[in-house]
Structure 1
Amino acid sequence: MTPITFKNNPVTLVGKQLQVGDKAPDFTVLSNDLQPVSLGDSKGKIRLISVVPSVDTGVCSKQTHKFNEEAGKFEDDVEVLTISVDLPFAQARYRSVEEIGNIQILSDHRDLSFGDAYGVTIQELRLLARSIFVIDKDDTITYVEYVSEVTDHPDYQEALEAVEKLKA
Protein backbone atom coordinates (compact mmCIF):
# COMPACT_ATOMS: atom_id res chain seq x y z
CA MET A 1 0.00 0.00 0.00
CA THR A 2 1.35 3.38 -1.04
CA PRO A 3 1.55 5.79 1.92
CA ILE A 4 -0.22 9.01 0.95
CA THR A 5 0.34 12.45 2.42
CA PHE A 6 -1.42 15.78 2.06
CA LYS A 7 0.90 18.73 2.62
CA ASN A 8 3.33 16.24 4.22
CA ASN A 9 0.74 14.99 6.73
CA PRO A 10 -0.23 11.31 6.51
CA VAL A 11 -3.81 10.60 5.46
CA THR A 12 -5.95 7.47 5.48
CA LEU A 13 -7.34 6.11 2.22
CA VAL A 14 -10.64 4.24 2.30
CA GLY A 15 -10.86 1.09 0.21
CA LYS A 16 -8.31 -1.25 -1.31
CA GLN A 17 -5.63 0.19 -3.54
CA LEU A 18 -5.78 -1.45 -6.95
CA GLN A 19 -2.94 -2.91 -8.98
CA VAL A 20 -2.13 -3.60 -12.61
CA GLY A 21 -4.00 -6.74 -13.64
CA ASP A 22 -6.97 -6.14 -11.33
CA LYS A 23 -10.44 -6.03 -12.82
CA ALA A 24 -11.61 -2.41 -12.75
CA PRO A 25 -14.44 -2.05 -10.23
CA ASP A 26 -17.67 -0.51 -11.45
CA PHE A 27 -18.75 2.82 -9.97
CA THR A 28 -21.46 5.42 -10.32
CA VAL A 29 -20.61 9.12 -10.43
CA LEU A 30 -22.58 12.12 -11.67
CA SER A 31 -22.19 14.08 -14.87
CA ASN A 32 -22.47 17.86 -14.79
CA ASP A 33 -26.19 17.56 -15.61
CA LEU A 34 -26.69 15.17 -12.65
CA GLN A 35 -26.98 12.01 -14.75
CA PRO A 36 -25.38 8.82 -13.44
CA VAL A 37 -22.24 7.65 -15.23
CA SER A 38 -20.64 4.25 -14.67
CA LEU A 39 -17.59 2.42 -15.94
CA GLY A 40 -19.90 0.36 -18.14
CA ASP A 41 -20.94 3.48 -20.06
CA SER A 42 -17.55 3.45 -21.80
CA LYS A 43 -17.32 -0.34 -22.23
CA GLY A 44 -15.23 -1.35 -25.21
CA LYS A 45 -13.02 1.74 -24.98
CA ILE A 46 -9.65 2.41 -23.43
CA ARG A 47 -10.20 4.61 -20.36
CA LEU A 48 -7.77 7.02 -18.76
CA ILE A 49 -9.18 8.14 -15.41
CA SER A 50 -7.54 11.21 -13.92
CA VAL A 51 -8.44 11.66 -10.26
CA VAL A 52 -8.06 15.07 -8.59
CA PRO A 53 -9.02 16.46 -5.17
CA SER A 54 -10.65 19.58 -6.68
CA VAL A 55 -10.55 21.03 -10.20
CA ASP A 56 -10.39 24.53 -8.68
CA THR A 57 -6.85 24.14 -7.34
CA GLY A 58 -3.60 24.80 -9.19
CA VAL A 59 -2.18 21.31 -9.65
CA CYS A 60 -5.62 19.79 -10.29
CA SER A 61 -6.39 22.40 -12.92
CA LYS A 62 -3.06 21.82 -14.67
CA GLN A 63 -3.65 18.06 -14.59
CA THR A 64 -7.13 18.51 -16.05
CA HIS A 65 -5.86 20.83 -18.79
CA LYS A 66 -3.01 18.45 -19.66
CA PHE A 67 -5.31 15.46 -20.13
CA ASN A 68 -7.91 17.58 -21.96
CA GLU A 69 -5.20 18.65 -24.41
CA GLU A 70 -3.95 15.09 -24.88
CA ALA A 71 -7.49 13.70 -25.23
CA GLY A 72 -7.94 15.89 -28.29
CA LYS A 73 -5.24 13.79 -29.99
CA PHE A 74 -6.86 10.41 -29.24
CA GLU A 75 -9.21 8.49 -31.50
CA ASP A 76 -12.78 7.65 -30.51
CA ASP A 77 -11.67 4.40 -28.84
CA VAL A 78 -10.15 6.31 -25.90
CA GLU A 79 -12.27 7.96 -23.18
CA VAL A 80 -10.65 10.38 -20.73
CA LEU A 81 -12.47 11.03 -17.45
CA THR A 82 -11.55 13.39 -14.64
CA ILE A 83 -13.18 12.55 -11.32
CA SER A 84 -13.32 14.73 -8.20
CA VAL A 85 -15.73 15.33 -5.34
CA ASP A 86 -16.53 18.84 -6.56
CA LEU A 87 -20.23 19.45 -6.99
CA PRO A 88 -21.43 18.89 -10.57
CA PHE A 89 -22.46 22.57 -10.78
CA ALA A 90 -18.94 23.71 -9.91
CA GLN A 91 -17.50 21.27 -12.43
CA ALA A 92 -19.83 22.63 -15.15
CA ARG A 93 -18.74 26.19 -14.37
CA TYR A 94 -15.08 25.12 -14.46
CA ARG A 95 -15.53 23.35 -17.82
CA SER A 96 -17.14 26.44 -19.29
CA VAL A 97 -14.69 29.01 -17.93
CA GLU A 98 -11.60 26.87 -18.65
CA GLU A 99 -12.88 25.68 -22.05
CA ILE A 100 -12.52 21.99 -21.27
CA GLY A 101 -14.20 20.07 -24.08
CA ASN A 102 -12.30 16.86 -24.81
CA ILE A 103 -12.88 15.04 -21.51
CA GLN A 104 -15.70 14.37 -19.10
CA ILE A 105 -15.44 15.86 -15.62
CA LEU A 106 -17.47 13.77 -13.20
CA SER A 107 -18.50 14.15 -9.57
CA ASP A 108 -18.10 11.51 -6.87
CA HIS A 109 -19.61 13.88 -4.31
CA ARG A 110 -22.88 12.03 -3.75
CA ASP A 111 -21.67 8.71 -2.33
CA LEU A 112 -17.92 8.31 -3.02
CA SER A 113 -18.66 5.24 -5.15
CA PHE A 114 -15.52 5.70 -7.25
CA GLY A 115 -13.27 6.81 -4.39
CA ASP A 116 -14.10 3.86 -2.17
CA ALA A 117 -13.96 1.29 -5.01
CA TYR A 118 -10.57 2.54 -6.23
CA GLY A 119 -9.04 3.18 -2.79
CA VAL A 120 -8.64 6.94 -3.23
CA THR A 121 -11.08 8.46 -0.71
CA ILE A 122 -9.14 10.50 1.84
CA GLN A 123 -10.99 9.74 5.06
CA GLU A 124 -9.88 12.85 6.94
CA LEU A 125 -10.81 15.32 4.17
CA ARG A 126 -13.59 13.65 2.14
CA LEU A 127 -11.55 14.37 -0.98
CA LEU A 128 -10.06 12.02 -3.54
CA ALA A 129 -6.32 11.38 -3.61
CA ARG A 130 -4.55 12.34 -6.82
CA SER A 131 -4.19 9.23 -8.95
CA ILE A 132 -4.31 7.88 -12.50
CA PHE A 133 -5.86 4.66 -13.81
CA VAL A 134 -5.67 3.27 -17.33
CA ILE A 135 -8.22 0.58 -18.08
CA ASP A 136 -8.28 -1.53 -21.23
CA LYS A 137 -11.30 -2.38 -23.39
CA ASP A 138 -11.92 -5.52 -21.30
CA ASP A 139 -12.02 -3.58 -17.99
CA THR A 140 -8.58 -4.68 -16.79
CA ILE A 141 -6.36 -2.10 -15.11
CA THR A 142 -3.13 -1.73 -17.08
CA TYR A 143 -1.63 1.31 -15.32
CA VAL A 144 -2.01 2.72 -11.81
CA GLU A 145 -0.41 5.67 -10.10
CA TYR A 146 -1.31 6.72 -6.58
CA VAL A 147 0.59 10.00 -6.19
CA SER A 148 2.27 9.79 -2.78
CA GLU A 149 1.93 13.53 -2.02
CA VAL A 150 -1.52 14.77 -3.02
CA THR A 151 -0.18 18.23 -3.92
CA ASP A 152 2.35 16.78 -6.46
CA HIS A 153 1.76 16.16 -10.17
CA PRO A 154 1.29 12.63 -11.50
CA ASP A 155 3.61 11.17 -14.13
CA TYR A 156 1.76 12.38 -17.22
CA GLN A 157 4.14 10.77 -19.68
CA GLU A 158 3.89 7.29 -18.17
CA ALA A 159 0.09 7.46 -18.13
CA LEU A 160 -0.06 8.58 -21.75
CA GLU A 161 2.42 5.88 -22.78
CA ALA A 162 0.18 3.30 -21.07
CA VAL A 163 -2.72 4.45 -23.26
CA GLU A 164 -0.55 4.35 -26.40
CA LYS A 165 0.55 0.77 -25.63
CA LEU A 166 -3.10 -0.31 -25.57
CA LYS A 167 -3.75 1.39 -28.89
CA ALA A 168 -0.86 -0.39 -30.62
Structure 2
Amino acid sequence: MATFKGNPITLQGTQVQVGDKAPDFEVLATDLSKKTLSSYEGVRILSVVPSIDTGVCDAQTRKFNEEATKLPNVSVLTISNDLPFAQRRWCAANGLENVATLSDHKDLSFGKNYGVAIEELRLLARSVFVVNSNDEIVYVEYVPESTDEVDFAAALEAAASAE
Protein backbone atom coordinates (compact mmCIF):
# COMPACT_ATOMS: atom_id res chain seq x y z
CA MET A 1 0.00 0.00 0.00
CA ALA A 2 1.30 3.44 -0.94
CA THR A 3 0.68 6.60 1.06
CA PHE A 4 1.29 10.33 0.80
CA LYS A 5 1.52 12.16 4.12
CA GLY A 6 -0.02 9.09 5.73
CA ASN A 7 -3.05 9.02 3.42
CA PRO A 8 -3.62 6.07 1.08
CA ILE A 9 -3.05 6.81 -2.59
CA THR A 10 -3.87 5.00 -5.82
CA LEU A 11 -0.97 4.48 -8.21
CA GLN A 12 -1.89 4.38 -11.88
CA GLY A 13 -0.02 2.28 -14.39
CA THR A 14 2.02 -0.88 -14.20
CA GLN A 15 4.88 -1.21 -11.74
CA VAL A 16 8.13 -2.52 -13.17
CA GLN A 17 10.51 -5.09 -11.73
CA VAL A 18 14.20 -5.86 -11.88
CA GLY A 19 14.88 -7.72 -15.12
CA ASP A 20 12.11 -5.99 -17.08
CA LYS A 21 12.88 -4.07 -20.24
CA ALA A 22 12.60 -0.42 -19.20
CA PRO A 23 9.42 1.09 -20.62
CA ASP A 24 9.91 4.07 -22.87
CA PHE A 25 8.34 7.40 -21.97
CA GLU A 26 8.03 10.93 -23.32
CA VAL A 27 8.65 13.88 -21.00
CA LEU A 28 9.65 17.53 -21.40
CA ALA A 29 13.04 19.03 -20.63
CA THR A 30 13.30 22.50 -19.14
CA ASP A 31 13.60 23.97 -22.67
CA LEU A 32 10.29 22.21 -23.61
CA SER A 33 12.05 19.72 -25.90
CA LYS A 34 10.72 16.17 -25.84
CA LYS A 35 12.90 13.56 -24.18
CA THR A 36 12.59 9.78 -24.05
CA LEU A 37 14.54 7.02 -22.34
CA SER A 38 16.74 6.73 -25.44
CA SER A 39 17.62 10.44 -25.26
CA TYR A 40 20.16 9.38 -22.62
CA GLU A 41 22.83 6.71 -23.07
CA GLY A 42 24.62 4.42 -20.69
CA VAL A 43 23.40 3.73 -17.19
CA ARG A 44 20.53 5.93 -16.07
CA ILE A 45 19.28 6.67 -12.57
CA LEU A 46 15.63 7.68 -12.78
CA SER A 47 15.04 9.69 -9.61
CA VAL A 48 11.31 10.31 -9.23
CA VAL A 49 10.01 13.03 -6.92
CA PRO A 50 6.52 14.43 -6.18
CA SER A 51 7.70 18.08 -6.44
CA ILE A 52 11.18 19.54 -6.78
CA ASP A 53 10.22 22.45 -4.49
CA THR A 54 9.80 20.35 -1.33
CA GLY A 55 12.45 19.53 1.25
CA VAL A 56 12.76 15.78 0.70
CA CYS A 57 12.64 16.14 -3.10
CA ASP A 58 15.23 18.91 -2.97
CA ALA A 59 17.51 16.72 -0.82
CA GLN A 60 17.05 13.72 -3.14
CA THR A 61 17.92 15.75 -6.22
CA ARG A 62 20.94 17.34 -4.53
CA LYS A 63 22.26 13.98 -3.30
CA PHE A 64 22.06 12.36 -6.73
CA ASN A 65 23.60 15.52 -8.27
CA GLU A 66 26.60 15.24 -5.91
CA GLU A 67 27.06 11.52 -6.48
CA ALA A 68 26.65 11.69 -10.27
CA THR A 69 30.11 13.18 -10.72
CA LYS A 70 31.63 10.11 -9.05
CA LEU A 71 30.00 7.61 -11.42
CA PRO A 72 31.37 7.51 -14.99
CA ASN A 73 28.84 7.02 -17.79
CA VAL A 74 25.85 7.45 -15.47
CA SER A 75 23.07 9.94 -16.21
CA VAL A 76 20.75 11.11 -13.45
CA LEU A 77 17.25 12.06 -14.57
CA THR A 78 15.01 13.70 -11.97
CA ILE A 79 11.41 13.30 -13.07
CA SER A 80 8.42 15.07 -11.54
CA ASN A 81 5.13 16.61 -12.61
CA ASP A 82 6.43 20.11 -11.94
CA LEU A 83 6.19 22.39 -14.94
CA PRO A 84 9.44 22.68 -16.93
CA PHE A 85 9.61 26.41 -16.07
CA ALA A 86 9.58 25.65 -12.34
CA GLN A 87 12.23 22.97 -12.79
CA ARG A 88 14.46 25.35 -14.75
CA ARG A 89 14.05 28.07 -12.10
CA TRP A 90 14.85 25.60 -9.30
CA CYS A 91 17.99 24.29 -11.05
CA ALA A 92 19.24 27.80 -11.80
CA ALA A 93 18.67 28.92 -8.22
CA ASN A 94 20.47 25.86 -6.84
CA GLY A 95 23.33 25.58 -9.35
CA LEU A 96 22.81 21.90 -10.11
CA GLU A 97 24.54 20.76 -13.27
CA ASN A 98 24.76 16.96 -13.08
CA VAL A 99 21.05 16.16 -13.11
CA ALA A 100 18.56 16.52 -15.96
CA THR A 101 15.17 17.63 -14.65
CA LEU A 102 12.28 16.35 -16.71
CA SER A 103 8.56 17.08 -16.51
CA ASP A 104 5.89 14.39 -16.87
CA HIS A 105 3.11 16.95 -16.41
CA LYS A 106 1.84 16.88 -19.99
CA ASP A 107 0.85 13.23 -20.48
CA LEU A 108 1.88 11.26 -17.36
CA SER A 109 3.73 9.03 -19.82
CA PHE A 110 6.48 8.17 -17.35
CA GLY A 111 4.16 7.90 -14.35
CA LYS A 112 1.81 5.44 -16.00
CA ASN A 113 4.56 3.39 -17.68
CA TYR A 114 6.38 2.94 -14.35
CA GLY A 115 3.32 2.73 -12.09
CA VAL A 116 4.01 5.90 -10.08
CA ALA A 117 1.24 8.32 -11.16
CA ILE A 118 -0.77 9.28 -8.07
CA GLU A 119 -4.39 9.36 -9.21
CA GLU A 120 -5.65 11.59 -6.39
CA LEU A 121 -2.95 14.27 -6.68
CA ARG A 122 -1.59 14.13 -10.25
CA LEU A 123 1.89 13.88 -8.76
CA LEU A 124 4.47 11.11 -9.07
CA ALA A 125 5.16 8.81 -6.13
CA ARG A 126 8.72 8.90 -4.81
CA SER A 127 10.74 6.11 -6.39
CA VAL A 128 14.06 5.36 -8.03
CA PHE A 129 14.97 3.09 -10.91
CA VAL A 130 18.34 2.17 -12.38
CA VAL A 131 18.41 1.25 -16.06
CA ASN A 132 21.52 -0.29 -17.62
CA SER A 133 22.92 0.47 -21.08
CA ASN A 134 20.82 -2.39 -22.53
CA ASP A 135 17.61 -0.70 -21.29
CA GLU A 136 17.08 -3.35 -18.62
CA ILE A 137 15.90 -2.38 -15.17
CA VAL A 138 18.55 -3.42 -12.63
CA TYR A 139 17.17 -1.64 -9.54
CA VAL A 140 13.68 -0.64 -8.40
CA GLU A 141 12.53 1.15 -5.29
CA TYR A 142 8.93 2.22 -4.77
CA VAL A 143 8.96 4.19 -1.51
CA PRO A 144 5.83 3.16 0.46
CA GLU A 145 5.40 6.65 2.00
CA SER A 146 6.08 9.33 -0.63
CA THR A 147 7.42 11.80 1.93
CA ASP A 148 10.22 9.40 3.00
CA GLU A 149 13.68 9.28 1.42
CA VAL A 150 14.90 6.70 -1.08
CA ASP A 151 17.71 4.28 -0.28
CA PHE A 152 20.54 6.29 -1.85
CA ALA A 153 23.25 3.74 -1.07
CA ALA A 154 21.40 0.86 -2.75
CA ALA A 155 20.52 2.90 -5.85
CA LEU A 156 24.05 4.23 -6.24
CA GLU A 157 25.54 0.77 -5.73
CA ALA A 158 23.24 -0.62 -8.43
CA ALA A 159 24.25 2.19 -10.81
CA ALA A 160 27.96 1.70 -10.08
CA SER A 161 27.77 -2.03 -10.84
CA ALA A 162 25.52 -1.73 -13.91
CA GLU A 163 26.91 -1.76 -17.44
TM over 0.5: yes
Partner residue in 1 for 2:79: 83
> Any gaps of 5 or more consecutive residues in structure 2?
none
Give the AA of the match of 2:110. Answer: F
Partner residue in 1 for 2:54: 57
| 1:140 maps onto 2:136 in alignment | yes
**3-state DSSP class of the match of 1:34?**
coil
CA distance in 1, matches of 2:45, 2:8: 27
Partner residue in 1 for 2:29: 31
**TM (normalized to structure 1)?**
0.95
CA distance in 2, matches of 1:6, 1:20: 24
| 1:15 maps onto 2:8 in alignment | no
1:60-104 per-residue CA deviation (whole Å, 9 max, x = no partner) reads 0000000000012122x2111000000000000000001110110
Q: 2:22·2:136 contact (CA, 8 Å) conserved in 1?
A: yes
> Any gaps of 5 or more consecutive residues in structure 1?
none
**3-state DSSP class of the match of 1:105?**
strand
Q: 2:19·2:138 contact (CA, 8 Å) conserved in 1?
A: yes
**3-state DSSP class of the match of 2:19?**
coil
**3-state DSSP class of the match of 1:89?**
helix
CA distance in 1, matches of 2:124, 2:21: 20
Partner residue in 2 for 1:113: 109
Q: 2:5·2:147 contact (CA, 8 Å) conserved in 1?
A: yes
Partner residue in 2 for 1:71: 68
CA RMSD of aligned residues (A): 0.7
Q: 2:28·2:34 contact (CA, 8 Å) conserved in 1?
A: yes
CA distance in 2, matches of 1:100, 1:4: 30
CA distance in 1, matches of 2:112, 2:140: 16
CA distance in 2, matches of 1:89, 1:165: 34
Partner residue in 2 for 1:93: 89
Q: What percent identity do the matched residue pairs reach? A: 58
CA distance in 2, matches of 1:109, 1:53: 11
Partner residue in 1 for 2:43: 46
**TM (normalized to structure 2)?**
0.98
